[in-house]
Structure 1
Amino acid sequence: MTTFAQSLAPRAWSPGRHVVRCVRTIDETRDVRTFCFVAEQPCLFVFRPGQFVTLELLIDGETLMRSYTIASSPTLPTQFSLTIKRIPGGKVSNWLHDHFGTGQVLVVHGPAGRFHLAKRPADKVLLLSGGVGITPLMSMARWLCDTHSATDAVFVHSARTPGDIIYHRELRHMAARNPAFQLHLVCERQGSGETWSGYRGYVGRAMLELMAADFLDREIFCCGPAPYMAAVRRLLDEAGFDSRRYHEEAFVPVTQTPPPTTEQTHLVHFARSDKGIRITPGETVHAAASQLGVALPKACGMGICGTCRVLKRAGEVRMAANGGISEEELAEGYILSCCSEPLGDVVIDA
């Protein structure tokens, strides 16, 4: 059992595989629940607001990996929380809602991701979210408020109905106590038996100008369903917004390019195993390793968890990563084998 003295000097969280225990669940809406975690071994969860983790779950005898953004603020490092929406047909989200709760443990990989405020500090920011896409932006907002940041922040969140507004009371509380934090909530419609006096419909340019007249001068962070983010991009493009100051988060499965009809192939050589194989363009480094029996770790298969990171000694690859590797690691020559397609002959340290 961990002593009190030991709990005062926990190690810092480092990217990798960790066992965590759920200590609390919070029903945010009728189909959205927050799971709060602490480490089984004392640990400080050091991450950047907006980053995510990947859960490793054993469900019906099958190991499944799913990534979720950390919703809590890094200013509370002894715990972290994930807010997860129940999705029709969602194997993992539904299992978590139906079978996982306080006292149970699971394996988490991370943290990872480059969608965070710390990387792009700005005097004025606009946070745009739709539905459960609020989670990375809530982490950012909590961090800004907890640190008493002087950053001028405008938070615009869109939901289907008032009853679907995640973190509703907390958002109102944050806005009431922080003069640099402005909150605007938008509901598509009014639910049965609900009252709503706020913005209705969908965010358009006229509505956005009422909320943040100077939006063209702000650093913008956006997360939500694909149609929501597409609409935001169109709005900003039509307004002449500088796209270099627009940042969005979306977990998109990595797709492989169909093999060409030519006979061109690339040699993938695994130096330490002294094995090599020729593959066609569109195949990945991990696929080459699998064909040779070279054991490379793999988890999400989508370039988001960083588990499959390997060192590339020579050659060039096209990597469709979704955030599972840092810029420092890229500079050192590391790649994610699950989503790296050789552009020519390559040598891998494995």
Structure 2
Amino acid sequence: MNAMTETLLYRHLDEMTPWDARLQVLEVIGVAEEAPDVKTFTFRSDAQTWFRYKPGQFITLELPLEDGPLMRTYTLSSSPSRPFSIAVTVKAQPGSVGTRWMFDHLEPGTHVTAYGPAGDFTHHNHPAGKYLLLSAGSGVTPMMSMLRWFNDCAPWTDVAFVNCARLPEEIIFRKELDLLGNRMPGLTLGFLIEQRSKRENWFGPTGRIDFTRLSLLAPDFLEREVFCCGPEPFMRAARDMLKAAGFDMAHYHQESFSAPVAELAPDILPDVGVDGDAVAEAASFPVRFALSDVDAESAGGQTVLQVSRASGVRIPAACEFGLCGTCKVKMTAGTVEMAHNGGILDEEIEEGYILACCSKPTGAISIEA
């Protein structure tokens, strides 16, 4: 790195513009091992812009696999209070493809395309006097983003941080959490493991989360704003436990990347149990993909994403049920019926943006794609 490059790295925030996912890619600047099969990847913008997001939000990475691009959504474990870089902390599960590719190929200096940030799982949307951040496994990542923000911006906040893991050595961010526990006067830490380990001594509680164990780790949990993230069985158990305890579920929030309803696309509807006449009667409308100079036709109530794929026009997509926001495109003419799950902001809709995965044309439309 020459002296000129080093000088350009040190710029004041007011001299920089926010990162634009549509124009700038990410450069890896750090890789750190957090626990067995868990790594943190830290990025900066290739255009030296700063990152504006809310703690707990996520981004979607486009991973260039040999068989074609693979879209994977990861929660940011970093805090927007440190806006010059962002980080994701990922666990390589058995059989995982995207995360294993990241482990094998991402190193300082490499670049990757990203989309976002997106998501509404953040304490900024639910101000409260007391919080419970309840997580299991890699579900700790959005909680860490929020806790780091609290540490930087409001260290006196009353936060009960409860994390569950299979083994003591699998507690992610353990050393940093212990350090924050000594620095934040309002923070109480609670760890719960399923089984003891031969590698590390454990003197804390064991077993799976239930009313008795949660009462031990966070005695006043009924009085707190609860954020929960982890494997679906864990979150289901947490929801059932809180309901049974009489908790006001209006103060319960969870992060999940699973589709709320499995909705079949018109082109893969089964032959049995479907009103074929209704599908056939669905109106068709012209769809213009302006940047690709392609004219297509929506058929049988197809989404814009389905039309684009059938026409050979590539629109990046990850979750495909209106949550991640990866397939956000601008509609310059026409109207659509859009049923999203929070992956797009009201102001973005006002500017003409839609989510291609959950938008069905209601007339002739033109898309910037």
**TM-score greater than 0.5 by the shorter chain:** yes
Partner Cα distance (2:204, 2:129) in 1 = 27
Q: 1:66 to 1:202 in 2, by over 3 A?
A: same
1:280 aligns with 2:271: no
Partner Cα distance (2:194, 2:365) in 1 = 51
Q: What's the CA shift string for 1:186-241, capped at 9, x where partnerless?
A: 11111123211112111111221222232222111111011111111111111222
1:300 aligns with 2:318: yes
1:191 aligns with 2:189: no
Q: 1:276 to 1:158 in 2, by over 3 A?
A: same
* SS of residue paired to 1:200: coil
The aligned counterpart of 2:165 is 159
Instruction: Choose the corresponding residue for 1:137, options 143, 149, 152.
Output: 143
Partner Cα distance (1:340, 1:143) in 2 = 35
Q: 1:263 to 1:37 in 2, by over 3 A?
A: same
Q: 1:288 to 1:41 in 2, by over 3 A?
A: closer
Partner Cα distance (2:330, 2:263) in 1 = 19
Instruction: Choose the corresponding residue for 1:256, options 263, 266, 273.
Output: 263
Q: Please, what TM-score do these two structures have when normalized by structure 2?
A: 0.85
1:81 aligns with 2:81: no
Q: What's the CA shift string for 1:268-299, capped at 9, x where partnerless?
A: 44378796745335x423213444x3846333
Contact 1:17 1:108 (C-alpha < 8 Å) held by counterparts = no
1:17 to partner: Cα distance: 4.6
Contact 2:19 2:45 (C-alpha < 8 Å) held by counterparts = no
Q: 1:17 to 1:216 in 2, by over 3 A?
A: farther
Q: 1:239 to 1:104 in 2, by over 3 A?
A: same
The aligned counterpart of 1:126 is 132
1:332 to partner: Cα distance: 5.6
Partner Cα distance (1:98, 1:276) in 2 = 40
**Cα RMSD for the two superposed structures:** 2.5
The aligned counterpart of 2:221 is 215
Q: 1:109 to 1:317 in 2, by over 3 A?
A: closer
Partner Cα distance (2:54, 2:298) in 1 = 40
Instruction: Choose the corresponding residue for 2:7, options 4, 8, 22.
Output: 4
* SS of residue paired to 1:251: coil
Partner Cα distance (2:298, 2:27) in 1 = 44
* Number of residue pairs the alignment of both structures matches: 344
1:243 aligns with 2:261: no
Contact 1:17 1:109 (C-alpha < 8 Å) held by counterparts = no
The aligned counterpart of 2:185 is 179
Partner Cα distance (1:316, 1:201) in 2 = 47
- Which has the larger strand fraction? 1
1:266 aligns with 2:283: yes
Consecutive unaligned residues of structure 2, counting only runs of 5 or more, are none
Query: Comparing 152-161 with 214-223, which one deviates more in the overlay?
Result: 214-223
Q: What's the CA shift string for 1:119-167, capped at 9, x where partnerless?
A: 2221111101100010011000010011134431111000001000000
Consecutive unaligned residues of structure 1, counting only runs of 5 or more, are none
Instruction: Choose the corresponding residue for 1:110, options 108, 116, 137.
Output: 116
The aligned counterpart of 1:46 is 52
Contact 1:33 1:84 (C-alpha < 8 Å) held by counterparts = yes
The aligned counterpart of 1:328 is 347
* SS of residue paired to 2:60: strand
Q: What's the CA shift string for 1:67-86, capped at 9, x where partnerless?
A: 11110111111111111111
* Percent identity for Structure 1 against Structure 2: 36
The aligned counterpart of 1:35 is 41
Query: Comparing 94-103 with 269-278, which one deviates more in the overlay?
Result: 269-278
Query: Comparing 28-37 with 57-66, which one deviates more in the overlay?
Result: 57-66
Contact 1:55 1:65 (C-alpha < 8 Å) held by counterparts = yes
Q: Please, what TM-score do these two structures have when normalized by structure 1?
A: 0.89
Contact 2:228 2:255 (C-alpha < 8 Å) held by counterparts = yes
1:15 to partner: Cα distance: 4.1
Q: 1:74 to 1:35 in 2, by over 3 A?
A: same
Contact 1:296 1:308 (C-alpha < 8 Å) held by counterparts = no
1:101 to partner: Cα distance: 1.5
Partner Cα distance (1:40, 1:121) in 2 = 34
Query: Comparing 37-46 with 299-308, which one deviates more in the overlay?
Result: 299-308
The aligned counterpart of 1:97 is 103
